[in-house]
Structure 1
Amino acid sequence: MTDTALVVGGTRFIGRHTVEELAANGYAVTTLTRGTHVNPFADDDRVDHVTGDRTVDADLTAARDAVDPDVVIDCVAYRPADVEAAMTIFADVDAYVYVSSGAAYGAEHVPKREGVTPLESCTPVQAVDERDATYGNRKAAGDRAVFAAAEDGVAATAVRPCIVYGPHDYTERLDYWIDRVLTYDRVVVPGDGQNLWHRAYVADVASALRIVAERGEPGSAYNVGDRRALTLAETLETVAAVADADCTIVPAGPEALAAGGLTATDFVLYREYPHLLETRALADLGWESTPVREAMRRTVADHRAADRDGHEWDPGRDAEELVLEAAGE
């Protein structure tokens, strides 16, 4: 008998890849979305769709009754109340997997380890706040809801991706850097280029969600990230290599950046303190990471085929030219 899976969300990025992963592995998949984005599976006989708002309990209940899922992958739970409601509505499924985040960690440890590194706290005000500043707090509270439900017998787990990249990435964070490498022969990198913000290839996140649903221990959280974490400079070097682009990476310290009126934090994917997640627990379940060069090759190919350039993250090429001049390039 075919297992059924309900993906809450499933048309844009992580959810889209998760649907593809589940369908490719023999699941009968249904997505639950509001229908505000184009459904890439509209013509895919393996994937059904129900319309609903995951923040409305009645819609979640209706989806549960219509699909009778064995597995639920919850990609769009952004408030602890969302997770708490799901714990009740999906209490009897074989596996519920909550998509949490590496931002749930509340201490700057290197690496951040499941069950060891403290999580963010979350006040009642933060629990209903939709600003980016409280994202990690809300995700951590969702983790705690999963843990509490597991103690009551719910087969619930959490998966914590770090920064996710790959095809269909609507955030366009990595697209900014890819565009720079493909467009210019000199690219400004803040600092010495050795800053590290761990990333996860989106197809690997999708496979992690499936594997945790199948093999994960209820009440556990699993980090997911590239098994080889690249610095920002190494990332651009890899982009240039797979794209066969002739590009010089120019590190720029505070003085050079100031010449263009910029600081290091004006550049997307810059993080002063290293962010690195341990992924051993996930690997112990049999999960494998795509080699970063291959992941980047696919990402660059998708970038070239898509209409994305990361312009919203652009600090301004005129400003960068002043930085390059100050840096002696």
Structure 2
Amino acid sequence: MPHAMIIGGTRFIGRHTVRELLDNEYDVTVFNRGNHENPFADDEAVAHVAGDRTNENAVERAAREVDPDIVIDCVAYHPSEVRHATAVFADCEAYVAISSGSAYGDEEIPKREDTTTLHDCTDEQATDDSMDSYGPRKAEIDRAVAAAADEGVNAMSVRPPVVYGPHDYTERFDYWINRVLNHDRVIVPGDGDCLWHLVFAPDVASGLRTVAEAGEPGETYNVGDRRLPVLAEWVELIADTLDTDVEIVTANERELAAAELAPGDFPLYRSYPHVLSTAKIAELGWEATPIETALERTVENHQASDRTGRENGPDREAEERVLSVLDTL
């Protein structure tokens, strides 16, 4: 059986990637610091090597101990980490890093891997940890992957947009599930038609495996849901999944200002559509999970968890003030 090493692997995308690889007959080793609960602690099929991926010596030690066939890098946040990893794992059959749709610098619809311009990345941004530099850092990671491929390494990257699904510790999508579960009226900012391409976490995992097995060296592949609902439609789909009714109340900037809110205070709001073309990865045989199936699994996991997502958006008291204003119009 081929042996896969996951850098990361216990929280969200990494957790789904471990399961994807196990389901496709890989031996799996997880390499991380062990700071979070390991869902595979009792699974004899998953080995664990402790170490900090920001420590070059630890990465090199793990490479010697594991000697993997493929490496999936779920926690590549700085270009220097990827430059080092592609050198350490140069002889592996494949190295795949998770990039991001945020790497794109131009706003166009859709964003395509080989034509849409990426962010530039300064030396200062390359070592920064803030969200302001996240897109530039991911863009530079993609360039590092391409440079490694030029040196003969089978290195590739995968660009997801916002990821949702079971075990999502960001809780951005959980905010909307929580609203539908607990309120008959749900405020959606603007006209409810903002479009932010999302992707189901297990589909990112299957995309990573697909690229590792069939991708071309130096290439980057977008991965995202096949269907692209606008925000109001997502709320409706959640309600359908829960077999409940909900009234969607749209509120513009002036109406939200009655409670000192703005559209950007709501999770998954974006003023300009963010859409990724997924034709390139589809050519490798990858397919997205139908949204209805993805939502069933996501909602079921939300209900079994203690996640609410409330801290990602306005509190209900502020929303009630907006609703009161709207009811008088």
Q: Which residue of 1 aligns with 2:2?
A: 3
Matched residue SS, 2:176: helix
- Offset of 1:326 from its aligned partner? 1.9
Q: How do 1:1-329 and structure 2 match up within 5 A?
A: 2-328=1-327
SS of 2:250's partner is strand
TM-score by length of 1: 0.99
> How far has the Cα of 1:328 moved from its partner?
2.3
- What do the CA deviations read for 1:77-120 (whole angstroms, capped 9, x no partner)? 10000001001101110000010000000110110001100001
Deviations 1:28-64 (A, max 9, x none): 0000010100111011111100000001111111111
Residues 132-182 of structure 1, C-alpha deviation per residue, up to 9 Å, x if partnerless? Answer: 111011010000000011011000001001000000000000001100011
Count of residues in correspondence between the two structures: 328
- Give secondary structure in 1 for the equivalent of 2:327: coil
**CA-CA distance at 1:314 after TM superposition:** 3.0
Task: Determine the C-alpha separation between the residues in 2 that align with 1:50 and 1:118.
Answer: 38
Q: Secondary structure at the match of 2:71?
A: strand
- What CA deviation, in whole Å up to 9, does each residue of 1:166-218 have, x standing for no partner? 00000000001100011000000000000001000000000000000000001
Q: Distance in 1 between matches of 2:84 and 2:50?
A: 18
Q: Percent identity?
A: 57
Q: Distance in 1 between matches of 2:189 and 2:26?
A: 45
> Which amino acid is the alignment partner of residue 265 of structure 1?
G
- Counterpart-to-counterpart distance in 2, 1:172 and 1:253: 24
- What residue identity is the alignment partner of 1:243? L
Cα separation, 2, equivalents of 1:21 and 1:154: 24
Query: What SS does the corresponding residue of 2:115 show, helix, strand or coil?
Result: coil
Distance across 1 between alignment mates of 2:254 and 2:61: 58
Q: CA deviation at 1:322?
A: 1.4
Q: Following the alignment from structure 1 to structure 2, what is the Cα–Cα distance between the partners of residues 108 and 51? A: 40
**Partners in 1 of 2:152 and 2:326 — Cα distance?**
60
User: Which sections of structure 2, spanning at least 5 residues, go unmatched?
Assistant: none
Output the CA distance in 2 between the equivalents of 1:316 and 1:168: 23
Partners in 1 of 2:326 and 2:113 — Cα distance?
A: 41
Q: Which runs of 5+ in 1 are unaligned?
A: none
Measured in 1, the distance between the counterparts of 2:296 and 2:134 equals 30
Once the two structures are TM-superposed, the CA of residue 261 in structure 1 deviates from its matched residue by: 1.2
